[in-house]
C-alpha cells in the first residue's frame, strides 16, 4: 500500500509534464502558422481619397478610428470606415493595427454595436469596391495592400508592416 501511494503522485506529475509539453508544442505551432499568415500578406496601407483633404494619419489615430473610439475627423466630418472582406488581409490589418485577432475584433465590435456606441466598418467586396467607396464618400478611410493603394485618386495615410 505504501508503494502505491508514491506511484499516484508520480503518475500525476508525468501527466502534468506531458500536458505542459503538448501545450508548448501547440503554442509553437500556432505561432508558426500565424507567422506564415503574416508573411503571406504584404505591407498594408491606410488610405483615403485624395479629394478628402487628409494627408496623414498616425497609428494611434487609425487605431482609434478602427476601434470606434473616434468617429470624426479633426475638421468635424464624420468618418466612414471601410473593411475588406473577411480573410487574411483583414485579419492581418487588425492584428498589426490593434493587436487583436479576428474573434476579439468581432466580439469588440459586437459590444459597440449592441450598446449603440458605434457602427462597424462597411464591408467592401474587394479592393476595387474599396476604391469606389473612397472616391464617392467624403471622410471615408480604408486599408489596402500597399501595391493596390497605388492609385492617383488615393492618398496613403499610413503604412503597416
Condensed to tens digits (0 to 9), the pLDDT of residues 38-83 reads 557 789 999 999 988 889 999 999 999 999 999 998 889 999 999 9
Q: What is the CATH number of domain 44-160?
A: 3.40.190.10
- Paired strand residues for 143: 46
Cell digits of residue 35: 507567422
For residue 122, what is the enclosing H or E element? strand 122-123
Ramachandran sector of residue 42 (left: φ over 0; alpha: ψ -120 to 50; beta: rest): beta
Higher-pLDDT residue of 61 and 24 is 61
What pLDDT shows up at residue 161? 85
Q: What is the mean pLDDT of the chain?
A: 84
Of 17-31, 48-62, 92-106, the poorest mean pLDDT is in 17-31
C-alpha torsion 148→109→103→99, nearest 10: 60
The answer to whether residues 143 and 45 touch, using CB atoms and an 8 Å cutoff, is yes
What pLDDT shows up at residue 123? 96
The answer to whether residues 147 and 41 touch, using CB atoms and an 8 Å cutoff, is no
Report pTM. 0.74
Query: What is the arithmetic mean of pLDDT over 90-106?
Result: 96
C-alpha torsion 5→7→9→10, nearest 10: 160
Amino acid at each position: 500500500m505504501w508503494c502505491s501511494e508514491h506511484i499516484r503522485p508520480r503518475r500525476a506529475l508525468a501527466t502534468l509534464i506531458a500536458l505542459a509539453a503538448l501545450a508548448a508544442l501547440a503554442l509553437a505551432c500556432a505561432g508558426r502558422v500565424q507567422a506564415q499568415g503574416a508573411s503571406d500578406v504584404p505591407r498594408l496601407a491606410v488610405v483615403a481619397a485624395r479629394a478628402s483633404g487628409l494627408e496623414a494619419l498616425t497609428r494611434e489615430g487609425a487605431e482609434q478610428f478602427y476601434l470606434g473610439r473616434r468617429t470624426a475627423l479633426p475638421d468635424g466630418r464624420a468618418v466612414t470606415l471601410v473593411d475588406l472582406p473577411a480573410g487574411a488581409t483583414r485579419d492581418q490589418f487588425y492584428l498589426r493595427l490593434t493587436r487583436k485577432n479576428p474573434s476579439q475584433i468581432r466580439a469588440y465590435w459586437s459590444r459597440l454595436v449592441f450598446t449603440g456606441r458605434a457602427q462597424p466598418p462597411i464591408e467592401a467586396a474587394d479592393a476595387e469596391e474599396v476604391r469606389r467607396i473612397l472616391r464617392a464618400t467624403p471622410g471615408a478611410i480604408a486599408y489596402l495592400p500597399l501595391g493596390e493603394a497605388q492609385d492617383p485618386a488615393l492618398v496613403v495615410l499610413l503604412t503597416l508592416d
